[in-house]
Amino acid sequence: MSQDQISEITTLIQQARSNALKVVNTELINLFWQEGEYISRRIASASWGEKTVDELAEHIKRNHPELKGFNRRVLYRMKQFYDTYSKSSLAPSAGPLTQPDQDFEIVSSPMTQLGPSSLRDSILARVSWPHHLVLLSRTRTEEEREFYLRLCMQEKYSVKQQERQISSGVFERIMLENQNQPPVLKGMNQDIANVFKDSYVFEFLNLSETHSEGALQKALWPR
């Protein structure tokens, strides 16, 4: 087997792994959007009180310990994610949540009546949840968030690189100085090995951070 043939095979493997991670990330962001939509609408309609989110988090922790990463703080982050983008041109149109006469009980199935809106085809699903957390906490306007979101997608920034761009005030400088967007920086593609270390991916796939390669493959490509 020639070196070129070996390179072609390894390239196919790397592309498949990258594609699988993109699918996982899309489903993860879409899930967080739907959960945020559900919580936001329930609270807005006064069918839920603020303490209900605490009860939901406790219910998940007690009855579904395998579902990690759904504590009160994270659930409210999902709500913030939905509230921030629900009226934005970046998000899909929202559909009806449930029929008005339908009742909801946490003890039965706390997340089975999610709204039908999906982010799968939105650019919001093209960056990771940690990237979104930075955008939610570090940006102040819709224009600034969209700017850094698109910049992050274009340059394939890591979270640290994204934070560095925000800290250096790239958006403000461009707006104040009426400059064009900086040229694409080369050689900044995120190493796929680092993507596999994302704790949110581990929790979503129910894997520990000391997972084996076989366990990860089994989660990504179930037989």
- DSSP track, 160-214: HHHHHHHHTTHHHHHHHHTPPPPPPPTT-PPPHHHHTT-HHHHHHTT--TT--HH
> What does residue 181 show for φ and ψ, rounded to 5 degrees?
-60, 140
Chain segment 146-193, per-residue pLDDT in tens: 999 999 998 989 999 999 999 999 888 888 765 454 554 333 334 444
Q: Distance between CA 110 and CA 116 in Å, rounded? A: 16
**Do 152 and 190 contact (CB within 8 A), yes or no?**
no
Chain segment 107-122, per-residue pLDDT in tens: 334 344 444 468 888 8
Residue in 190, 198, 196 with CA at minimum distance from that of residue 217:
196
Q: How far is CA 88 from the centre of its chain?
A: 17
Whole-model pTM: value is 0.68
**Do 205 and 220 contact (CB within 8 A), yes or no?**
yes
- Helices (H) and strands (E) counted in the chain, each on its own, are 10, 0
- Read off the tokens for 144: 């600034």
Chain segment 72-87, per-residue pLDDT in tens: 999 999 999 999 999 8
Query: Taking the domains of the chain in order of start, what are their residue ranges?
Result: 1-126+210-223, 127-190
Higher-confidence residue: 214 or 12?
12
